Amino acid sequence: MRQAPQQRIAKDAIKAWKTAAILWMLIPWLVTIGGYIISYFVDFPYWIPTVALIVTIILTVVSIFIIPKLRWRRWRYELFDQEIYIQHGILIVSRTLVPMIRVQHVDTKQGPILKMFNLASLTISTAATTHEIPALLEEEAAELRDQISDLARVDQEDV
């Protein structure tokens, strides 16, 4: 069996994923607060927003403090001359080999949260699907994009 890939994504990915989780968790918190407001003004049972509060607290702890660290530990990649090896997943670990000969184009992308931490994601497109390596340092993502582009071009010339 093949060893797990050796390269890790940037450690700041944890901060970026925590920031994104905080923003997403605003929605359940607003719904929960809205439930208490409705219960105060209308004849609406208090146990419903109380259950929503408990669920929201659990979701907040899991999505902000646990999942980003687990996700970072699992995300790995490695670049070879003939393929790109990607591993990700928390409960179900997925290991993917992307043959260089199948690579059609490679992009880097950066949203506002990744830009805040000087990170970028790399997307590798094949005819069938798109693979993404998230949260690389900007320079590392650009360098990896150029390397994959060069290796894919060489492979296609060999065919």
Segment holding 98, helix H or strand E: strand 94-99
pTM assigned to the model: 0.86
Query: What is the model's pLDDT at position 98?
Result: 95
- Closest by CA to 126, choosing from 94, 159, 96, is 96
pLDDT in tens, 13-34: 999 999 999 999 999 999 999 9
Interacting residues of 139 by C-beta distance below 8 A, sequence separation 6+: none
Residue 2 DSSP label: P
% residues pLDDT > 70 (the chain): 96
- CA neighbor of 120 nearest in space, from 99, 95, 145: 145
How many C-alpha atoms does 60 have within 13 Å on its Cβ side? 15
pLDDT in tens, 52-95: 999 999 999 999 999 999 999 999 999 999 999 999 999 999 99
Under DSSP, the state recorded for 66 is I
* Residue-wise pLDDT tens digits, 102-112: 999 999 999 99
